Amino acid sequence: MRLRAGPADQRLAGREDLSHPRSRPHRLRRSLGPAEAHRGGAEGGCDGRRALALRAPARDHARPKRQARAPARLRARFAADATDRGGDITYHGPGQIVGYPILNLAEIRRDVVWYVRTLEEAMIRATAEFGIEVGREAGKTGIWARTASGAAEKLAAIGVHISRWVTSHGFAYNVSTDLRYFDLIVPCGISDRKPASLEKLLDRRVERAEAAPRIVRHFGGVFSLEMRETARDEFFERLEHAEAFAAVPA
């Protein structure tokens, strides 16, 4: 499910709802899969095949099991769409950084667990720059912070989709997110954990602009990719070129 919320803040992408099935990056990911399975070529669309978009979107769910605590209030406030990522229901909105990597793992490493753990590592390193120690929880994805009481609270969630080794969807990192919205759902189907945000952990105002460059830099570091910001028009021109290239029969 997805709520429309807030302006996008993106690196290597334009301002578009990237997870929508009709969006250009989403179409690109779907079209690259079959082509890359046959070709794996490095020409034509190489720039378009490696992208990290940071956006401030809405709320979504995938293969939901235990969705809402207050379904009537949820339907009244939010428009929702189903997605094809892994995981369960979650909320995306203002004050949150949502990363949407488009990577060809066939060119990097064909290992789904490694990919998820590497996404976590990028956010763990970025969070450490704020003086906050976060880590992983056994049997769960995302990154977790320990409170004074010893309880684990979720700072970032991960839900991905991989087709023919091309990735879509990604992670959601809470910077100044209004955590009350999570009370309307069972985030990621986990009922005994609470969400956290950088603001809550630091007990001060934190802007998304403080965290986004750190996440981008560490994303590039853990995946050994050179990161650079691309203007919207240039980015989509490259994506469309890559999509056209992928559509050409091998």
Kindly list the catalytic residues.
188
Segment (H or E) for 172: strand 166-174
**CA separation, residue 202 to residues 48, 151, 192, 196, 199 (Å):** 36, 16, 23, 10, 5
Segment (H or E) for 174: strand 166-174
Strand order through the sheet with 81-82: 81-82, 59-61, 90-91
Q: What is the DSSP string of 177-218?
A: --GGGGGGB-GGG-SS-EE--HHHHHTS---HHHHHHHHHHH
Q: How far apart are CA 236 and CA 175, in angstroms?
A: 27
Burial 41-72 (b: 16+ CB within 10 A, else e): beebbebbbbbbbbbbbbbbbbeeeebbeeee
Number of Cβ within a 10 Å radius of residue 198: 26
Asked if residues 53 and 99 have their Cβ atoms less than 8 Å apart, the reply is yes
- Nearest Cα neighbor of 101 from 6, 244, 215 is 215
